[in-house]
Amino acid sequence: MTDDDKVAAEAALLRAQLNKHNYAYYVKDNPSIPDIEYDRLLKRLNIIESDNPKLKQADSPTQRVGGKALKEFKTISHHTPMLSLDNAFSNEELIDFNNRILDRIKAKDEISYVCEPKLDGVAVSLLYEDGVLVRGGTRGDGKDGEDITENVRTIYSVPLKLKVKKPPILLEVRGEIYLPKKGFEKINYQAKLNDGKLFVNPRNAAAGSLRQLDSKITASRPLEMSIYSLGRIEGYPTPDTHMETLELLKEWGFLVNSNSILVKGIKSCANYYQKILNLRNSLPYEIDGIVYKVNDLNYQERLGSIAKSPRWAIARKFPAEEEITELEAVDFQVGRTGSITPVAKLKAVFVGGVTVSNASLHNQDEVKRLNIRIGDHLIVRRAGDVIPQIVKIIPERRPKITKEIIFPKRCPECDSSLVQIEGEAAIRCPSGLFCSAQMKQAIKHFASRKAMDIDGLGEKLVDQLVSEGLIASIVDLYRLNVDQISNLERMGKKSANNLLDALEKSKKTTLPRFLYSLGIREVGDATSLSLASYFKSLDAIQAAKLEDLEGVPDIGPIVAGFINSFFSQEENLKIIKELIHFGINWPDLLADKNRDLPLSNQIWVLTGGMDEIGRAEAKEKLQLLGARVSGSVSSKTNFIVAGAGAGSKLKRAKELSVEIIDESSLLSLLEEYGLF
């Protein structure tokens, strides 16, 4: 053996020893050697790698100290969306959640749930290829996040290499990065000694640490990461249950919360909640509730998700923190649909880790219910994570002089006379897009991801464009030019061209997205899809009578009235005509509107990962073609689209001789109808 071979062998042995000791210390919480001995081993490996740069590896323990500072974070796309959770604030809401699940899966007996403490940190996704960490990303908007790989590498509870001989080809896991209470106290103590900025709470500190462009700063913070779910796996059998998944991930070297347990029935979930609530203050980390997840992964698939939340999981929040403050004034804001919302301006108060100075009073009925006046002392609660709520006033502390809250008669933005529809609590401005406040909200909605998906057209840029008089309606977006945009603050020619490219790209859309983008009251993305599938063309929707609209599944008389009213207004029809004139288009799925859609009466199933198109987008487009997209395979299934890493559903499809196609064939089908 040559000297080089000996050095390489020593380096490999040191890496294996140090990784083993890291796992024992940071994941198992059971150190196997004294710190001084660990430091000696790490120092020796550092010397070897410094003298022999070729021996440096991505999974080396020496790579956890942080590297060269970045100029900015890059954007990454998640293989599968990172969904957020719906919340329950009472046992009744938890029982309702359980009943909905039992009803959907037609279960007669109680089912099993995994109960996990809801860590108060930052949701992060980790990507491994052939067992080696290649990427870490924040949740972001669920679809796209920030690339924080260099910062994630510095966290010792994140394995740089999986503890398995034959790892999956690809593995994506999700978890929470947080700062333990002791670590939080330590960095705030050091900041105080150096006259530095103090962090408000551990979550704030964790988020701030992960957003450091200099990973050496992140490395100096004692962050931890606990894994709570599997995002995607390829080249390895998928476990049958969530608990088996957690056990597998634990075997591979991930930290999984030791208080996570498997229970049967919703009563056991409630008991677990009370147990952890009693332990909350003694835990070494901050938690703000409990997460309950259906254990059976087949059930999870069948239950699916809605909007941004899975149907198979819920967060049971701990009681919200409350404080006493004063109502100093009330402002009135105009929403997208013209509703006038009273906003309480509070004497700033610290509640639940944040300073609260505003809270919504919702409408006149809420003001009357609270019997609230300007000058009152009141109890404010930070419900959930971020939404401040006024619970009640404190009558015995009412000052002698207070002011009644008087709702305006005219719009605070455009001075139009306000109206109130009989039976509604809200007062509204009827001016629609003529009202500047409604116009801004309408443009933001039009550009949103589920609507026209105009990348880069955020809230601040919309405010700038309207304030500068460059746009006065959604149509004006397509009249913008490079010079107009590049002259705005913080916008150069490159940014301007990017926005124009995004606007051009948005012109190719689908009918449901276009309908949703118009901002018709009470018409969300699901209702837009129902309208498009039922009428099949914009012309037919515009010509529909009230009774025709009420015939659409899931549309009642009230929503039908809103749709009919919208398409009865000449100004709205003019805007639609102008948008189409500027090139907005969507595939015309049928030349003969009396015929069925191409995939009518067909049942499709999607399984496995897809590279070119997301599962949610594929589902939407199959539904546009008339298919019913199911979460489970049966003898009635017509087609199954099998992506990378497809498991039990693909196996079941083969057993039932269901026709199987791959992602490429699906894309060819969608392309045939102009949907890709």
DSSP labels for 224-267?
A: EEEEEEEEEEESSPPPSBHHHHHHHHHHTT----TT-EEEESHH
Instruction: Report d(CA 448, CA 579) in Å as an integer.
Output: 16
The number of beta carbons lying within 10 Å of the beta carbon of residue 593 is 12
Angstrom distances, CA of residue 514 to CA of 243, 309, 507, 508, 525 = 42, 23, 10, 10, 10
250 burial via Cβ count (<10 Å: 0-12, 13-18, 19+): middle
**Tokens standing for 318?**
């701990």
The one catalytic residue in 118, 317, 440, 649 is 118
Whether residue 537 contacts residue 510, with contact meaning beta carbons closer than 8 Å, is answered with: no
Bin 634: left if φ > 0, else alpha if -120 < ψ < 50, else beta: beta
Q: What is the largest CA-CA distance in the chain?
A: 93
Examine the residue annotation and report whether 118 is marked as an active-site residue of this protein: yes
One-letter-per-residue 3-state SS of 574-633:
HHHHHHHHCCCECCCCCCCCCCCCCCCCCEEEEECECCCCCHHHHHHHHHHCCCEEECCC
Residue 250's nearest CA partner among 23, 59, 21, 25 is 23
Outline where 325-419 has alpha helix (H).
364-370
3-state helix, strand, coil in the chain (%, to 5): 40, 20, 40
Instruction: Report d(CA 12, CA 402) in Å as an integer.
Output: 75
Residue 91's nearest CA partner among 403, 284, 314, 390 is 314
**Tokens standing for 661?**
């196609």
- 578 CB contacts (<8 Å, ≥6 apart)? 475
Residue type for 353, please?
A: G
Residues pairing with 660 in the sheet: 640
Instruction: Report d(CA 593, CA 93) in Å as an integer.
Output: 44
Residue type for 309, please?
A: S
CA angle, 403 then 408 then 410, to 5°:
160
**Tokens standing for 551?**
């015939």
Tell me the helices (H) and strands (E) count for the chain, helix number first: 24, 22
Q: Which residues are catalytic?
A: 118
